[in-house]
Amino acid sequence: IFTAAVARLYFAFEQDGNVWKYSGLWGAMAFCKDRQKNDSYFLRLIDMETNRGVIWEQELYIGFHYSRDCPFLHSFETDDCLAGIQFVDQGEADVFYDKVLNRD
Protein backbone atom coordinates (compact mmCIF):
# COMPACT_ATOMS: atom_id res chain seq x y z
CA ILE A 1 0.00 0.00 0.00
CA PHE A 2 1.46 3.31 -1.09
CA THR A 3 -1.20 5.47 0.55
CA ALA A 4 -4.74 5.31 1.93
CA ALA A 5 -7.39 7.82 2.93
CA VAL A 6 -10.98 7.85 4.14
CA ALA A 7 -13.28 8.43 1.19
CA ARG A 8 -16.70 7.94 -0.39
CA LEU A 9 -17.23 6.43 -3.83
CA TYR A 10 -19.44 8.11 -6.45
CA PHE A 11 -20.47 7.04 -9.95
CA ALA A 12 -21.73 9.01 -12.96
CA PHE A 13 -23.44 7.06 -15.74
CA GLU A 14 -23.93 8.47 -19.24
CA GLN A 15 -27.59 7.38 -19.34
CA ASP A 16 -28.17 9.47 -16.18
CA GLY A 17 -26.63 12.58 -17.71
CA ASN A 18 -23.26 11.98 -16.05
CA VAL A 19 -24.60 13.29 -12.74
CA TRP A 20 -22.59 12.17 -9.71
CA LYS A 21 -24.49 9.77 -7.44
CA TYR A 22 -23.23 8.41 -4.14
CA SER A 23 -22.75 4.65 -4.36
CA GLY A 24 -23.35 4.06 -0.67
CA LEU A 25 -19.77 2.78 -0.36
CA TRP A 26 -17.22 4.42 1.90
CA GLY A 27 -14.11 3.37 3.78
CA ALA A 28 -10.35 3.48 3.37
CA MET A 29 -9.42 4.04 -0.27
CA ALA A 30 -6.03 2.44 -0.79
CA PHE A 31 -3.61 2.82 -3.67
CA CYS A 32 -1.55 -0.35 -3.89
CA LYS A 33 0.41 -2.76 -6.06
CA ASP A 34 -0.73 -6.38 -6.08
CA ARG A 35 2.27 -8.67 -6.44
CA GLN A 36 -0.03 -11.67 -6.94
CA LYS A 37 -1.70 -10.02 -9.95
CA ASN A 38 1.29 -9.27 -12.21
CA ASP A 39 2.40 -6.32 -10.06
CA SER A 40 -0.66 -4.37 -11.22
CA TYR A 41 -1.68 -1.14 -9.51
CA PHE A 42 -5.13 -0.95 -7.92
CA LEU A 43 -7.45 1.46 -6.18
CA ARG A 44 -9.22 -0.56 -3.48
CA LEU A 45 -11.95 0.54 -1.13
CA ILE A 46 -11.72 -1.26 2.20
CA ASP A 47 -14.73 -1.47 4.50
CA MET A 48 -14.04 0.15 7.87
CA GLU A 49 -17.44 -0.35 9.44
CA THR A 50 -18.21 -4.08 9.25
CA ASN A 51 -14.77 -5.52 8.39
CA ARG A 52 -15.87 -6.97 5.03
CA GLY A 53 -12.45 -6.31 3.53
CA VAL A 54 -12.20 -5.00 -0.03
CA ILE A 55 -15.67 -3.86 -1.17
CA TRP A 56 -14.66 -2.31 -4.51
CA GLU A 57 -11.56 -2.19 -6.69
CA GLN A 58 -10.31 -0.69 -9.92
CA GLU A 59 -7.19 -1.86 -11.70
CA LEU A 60 -5.13 0.93 -13.24
CA TYR A 61 -5.29 -0.16 -16.89
CA ILE A 62 -2.98 0.98 -19.71
CA GLY A 63 -3.97 4.55 -20.53
CA PHE A 64 -5.59 5.10 -17.11
CA HIS A 65 -6.20 8.83 -16.58
CA TYR A 66 -6.65 10.09 -13.01
CA SER A 67 -8.03 13.63 -12.61
CA ARG A 68 -8.31 16.05 -9.71
CA ASP A 69 -11.66 17.73 -10.39
CA CYS A 70 -11.40 19.78 -7.21
CA PRO A 71 -9.20 19.49 -4.11
CA PHE A 72 -11.31 16.75 -2.51
CA LEU A 73 -12.77 14.98 -5.59
CA HIS A 74 -10.75 12.82 -7.98
CA SER A 75 -12.22 10.99 -10.97
CA PHE A 76 -11.42 8.39 -13.62
CA GLU A 77 -13.14 6.17 -16.18
CA THR A 78 -14.16 2.60 -15.42
CA ASP A 79 -15.46 0.07 -17.96
CA ASP A 80 -19.01 1.43 -17.83
CA CYS A 81 -19.05 4.83 -16.09
CA LEU A 82 -17.08 7.60 -14.45
CA ALA A 83 -16.01 6.98 -10.87
CA GLY A 84 -15.32 9.68 -8.32
CA ILE A 85 -13.50 9.50 -5.02
CA GLN A 86 -14.58 12.13 -2.48
CA PHE A 87 -11.93 12.43 0.21
CA VAL A 88 -12.68 13.54 3.76
CA ASP A 89 -9.34 15.30 4.21
CA GLN A 90 -7.88 17.57 1.53
CA GLY A 91 -4.30 16.92 2.65
CA GLU A 92 -4.82 13.17 2.27
CA ALA A 93 -6.40 13.80 -1.13
CA ASP A 94 -3.31 15.74 -2.24
CA VAL A 95 -0.96 12.93 -1.14
CA PHE A 96 -3.19 10.33 -2.82
CA TYR A 97 -3.19 12.28 -6.10
CA ASP A 98 0.60 12.65 -6.09
CA LYS A 99 1.15 8.94 -5.36
CA VAL A 100 -1.18 7.83 -8.19
CA LEU A 101 0.33 10.24 -10.70
CA ASN A 102 3.94 9.37 -9.80
CA ARG A 103 3.45 5.60 -9.62
CA ASP A 104 6.11 4.62 -12.16
pLDDT tens-place string over residues 8-21: 999 999 888 889 99
CB-CB contact of 66 with 85 (8 Å):
no
Task: State the Cα–Cα distance between residues 80 and 11, nearest whole angstrom.
Answer: 10
> So where are the chain's domains?
3-101
Question: What are the distances in angstroms from CA 96 to CA 38, 63, 64?
Answer: 22, 19, 15
Question: What are the backbone angles phi and psi of residue 98, rounded to the nearest 5°?
Answer: -65, -40
**Sequence-ordered strand ranges (E) for the chain:** 3-12, 21-34, 40-46, 54-59, 67-70, 73-77, 82-87
| pLDDT, tens only, 60-73 | 999 999 999 999 99
3-101 topology per CATH: PH-domain like (2.30.29)
User: What is the residue-averaged pLDDT of the chain?
Assistant: 95
Could you tell me the pLDDT band of residue 89, with boundaries at 50, 70 and 90? very high
pTM equals 0.93
